[in-house]
């Protein structure tokens, strides 16, 4: 195994990517309490919400209220996804540290999701940069970087070219997003290596879904290529719009558990994170996808059965 | 990423490890039909059943009947787990090609599970070798090789020493089993490397559970060290006796999907395997853990939404 980074940044997205396709609206005070609790766990970044049209994502209609009401903790970066200039302005007014701009490298997916061509999306990014640069960090996410449910696999050169354009127009950091969980570890290793060779100094986040069970294997492949920032969702909350019953984002607690078991520091309080994950079924009304919340940590030993003497 | 093996052997364990803790007895004809269907998928090996006491594992009380009734396919190795000489004799009489002998490297776990010390288990293995050598292949499984739920992590030297003793007494091949899903990828890489350095010519199987979500990441770590034989259970059926709700073995169809997506050949007909996995809920009366059966393969594209023109 290649040497792994000594320290990895955990970026929590449960209240944005996790909640956006939940069947029920999570009440605003519950969202605020969840974010405030997550702020205390040691995660590096929290994607608080999305300043999108309430018609498009009713679950996040309270974006401004949530963003203004949370208690900031020093050292945590608070992010909002913004689809356009109006959203960017609202996010800035609500005090967000970072804006996450998203565009699909698959033109078909971008048209279906954003009703814009990729070029039109990039024009919108330019307007946001002009308005907000210096007042917030700007992250550019490349959705469907590892495959599009309509077009299939995306050529790595297209992804690299888009990353280059993000940097040209003034974005500060890049996320490669496996939007519908199509990435495989060999592909991840290749694309992470290529992006780091071309743009090594730029902060790079990997955003994986566990839709086909490969989420943590993809994390391992990315780690071996030096990636050290990962998005994840508490409980593995979130799903796939194309596959009822499929899982969503990789689970934050399962990710932290794997990293800590491998000796990769995260700075995250795993027992506290597990408590929060175990509280999600009561909040959301359904089971979670995360495994460690059910099975316990690898190191949580069990009592020796009666009548058996512990050996060695 | 290190270079990966070009071809991997898939070894199906659903009717043994998968079924043994199911809440309901799967009727004998259903077991036979499932094994016969699996024989047609291209898997290299099928662990048919276990010749244990029906009191200990009531779900496999029909071991002899199942083993005798299945239709053999050339090229597939049919295995049974055997706990003792009597079981070995019954498995041979039922025509099994290979016997799987299991002992926990954790003495406490061996005492709890087998009511024997490891030395007593090894004595039993010697008797089985004396009786059956040359009439069947003999595989030695090292249970709790990556951790014991009572004792915790097991020293790699203990595992290596036990593997050495397996070979001394005449076993033909070795399985490292992560019995309760405690392994992490860095640990897997280290132990696979050590075993291959010491016993490189001996066929080595990795048997992972997905109890804490790391199953396929552990496969990746093992592949990178050259491992090319993996046990897996259709649907990810099977659970963890210590954690109600936790998942069991890694899912065969998710494993094959990941390998094929990475360009590693398995010889397995994935669409047929997915059909069988999708039939399990009706057979077993509950949902499965495998993800690909729900989400479809990464390459299964979706129709472009109405009103959107497919681009690029």
| Tens-digit pLDDT string for chain B (312 aa) | 889 999 999 999 999 999 998 999 999 999 999 999 999 999 999 999 999 999 999 999 999 999 999 999 999 999 999 999 999 999 999 999 999 999 999 999 999 988 999 999 999 999 999 999 999 999 999 999 999 999 999 999 999 999 999 999 999 999 999 999 999 999 999 999 999 999 989 999 999 999 999 999 999 999 999 999 999 999 999 877 777 777 899 999 999 999 999 999 999 999 999 999 999 999 999 999 999 999 999 999 999 988 887 654
Put simply, whether B225 touches A (Cβ < 8 Å) is yes
In angstroms, the separation between the Cα of residue A79 and the nearest Cα of chain B is 27
Quote the tokens at residue A301.
């030993």
A310 and chain B: CB distance < 8 Å anywhere? yes
A89 CA to centre of own chain:
22
CA–CA separation, B171 and B168 (whole Å): 8
Share of chain A above pLDDT 90, in %: 92
Question: What's the number of CA atoms in the CB half-sphere (13 Å) around residue B18?
Answer: 29
Which of B148, B158, B179, B184 to probe by mutation at the A interface, max A CB count within 10 Å? B184
Contacts of B311 in chain A (CB under 8 A): 106-108, 110-111, 117, 151
- If you write DSSP's letter for every residue of A98-127 in order, what string do you get? EEEEEEESSHHHHHHHHSS-HHHHHHHHHH
Q: What is the pLDDT of residues A194-205, one digit of tens each?
A: 999 999 899 999
Q: Could you tell me the domains of chain B?
A: 9-295 (3.20.20.70)
User: B178 to chain A: which residues are within 8 Å by CB?
Assistant: none
For testing contact with chain A, the best of B5, B147, B157, B213 (most A CBs within 10 A)? B213
The answer to whether B108 touches B150, Cβ cutoff 8 Å, is yes
Nearest CA in chain B to A259: B184
- Which ipTM was obtained for this model? 0.97
Interface of A with B in 106-125 (CB under 8 A): 106-108, 110-112, 117
Pick B213's closest partner by Cβ from A111, A287, A291: A291
Size of interface A-B (CB pairs under 8 A): 205
Q: Tell me: the pLDDT tens digits for B147-179?
A: 999 999 999 999 999 999 999 999 999 999 999
Q: What is the pLDDT of residue B2?
A: 84
Q: Which residues of B, range 62-101, sit inside 8 Å of A by Cβ?
A: none
- Match 């701009």 to its residue by tokens: A101
Using an 8 Å CB-CB cutoff, list chain A residues near B149.
Answer: 301-302
Q: Do A302 and B150 touch (CB under 8 A)?
A: yes
How far apart, in Å, do the first and last CA atoms of chain B sit? Answer: 31
* pLDDT tier for residue A305 given thresholds of 50, 70 and 90: confident
- CB-neighbour burial class of residue B43 (10 A; exposed 0-12, middle 13-18, buried 19+): buried
Binary contact (B149, A216; C-beta < 8 A): no
Compute the nearest-CA separation of A262 from chain B (Å).
Answer: 6
In chain B, alpha helices (H):
28-39, 63-69, 85-93, 107-114, 118-132, 156-168, 185-199, 215-224, 252-261, 270-284, 292-295
């Amino acid at each position: 195994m290649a040497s792994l980074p000594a320290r990895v940044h955990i970026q929590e997205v449960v209240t944005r990517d996790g909640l956006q396709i939940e069947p029920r609206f999570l009440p605003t005070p519950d969202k605020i309490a969840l974010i405030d609790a997550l702020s205390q766990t040691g995660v590096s970044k929290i994607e608080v919400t999305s300043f999108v049209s309430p018609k498009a994502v009713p679950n996040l209609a309270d974006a401004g209220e949530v963003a203004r009401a949370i208690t900031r903790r020093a050292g945590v970066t608070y992010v909002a996804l913004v689809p356009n200039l109006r959203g960017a302005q609202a996010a800035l007014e609500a005090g967000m540290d970072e804006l996450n701009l998203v565009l699909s490298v698959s033109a078909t997916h971008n048209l279906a999701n954003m009703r814009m061509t990729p070029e039109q999306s990039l024009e919108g990014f330019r307007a946001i940069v002009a308005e907000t640069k210096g007042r917030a960090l700007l992250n550019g996410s490349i959705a469907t970087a590892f495959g599009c449910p309509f077009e299939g696999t995306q050529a790595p050169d297209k992804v690299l070219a888009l990353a280059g354009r993000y940097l040209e127009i003034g974005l500060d950091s890049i996320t490669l997003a496996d939007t519908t969980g199509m990435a495989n570890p060999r592909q991840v290793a290749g694309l992470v290596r290529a992006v780091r060779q071309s743009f090594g100094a730029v902060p790079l986040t990997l955003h994986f879904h566990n839709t086909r069970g490969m989420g943590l294997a993809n994390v391992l492949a990315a780690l071996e290529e030096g990636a050290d920032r990962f998005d994840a969702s508490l409980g593995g909350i979130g799903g796939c719009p194309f596959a009822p019953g499929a899982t969503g984002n990789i689970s934050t607690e399962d990710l932290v558990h794997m990293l800590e078991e491998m000796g990769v520091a995260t700075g995250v309080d795993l027992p506290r994170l597990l408590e929060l994950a175990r509280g999600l079924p009561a909040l959301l009304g359904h089971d979670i996808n995360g495994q460690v919340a059910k099975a316990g940590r690898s190191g949580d030993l069990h009592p020796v059965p009666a009548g058996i003497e512990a050996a060695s």
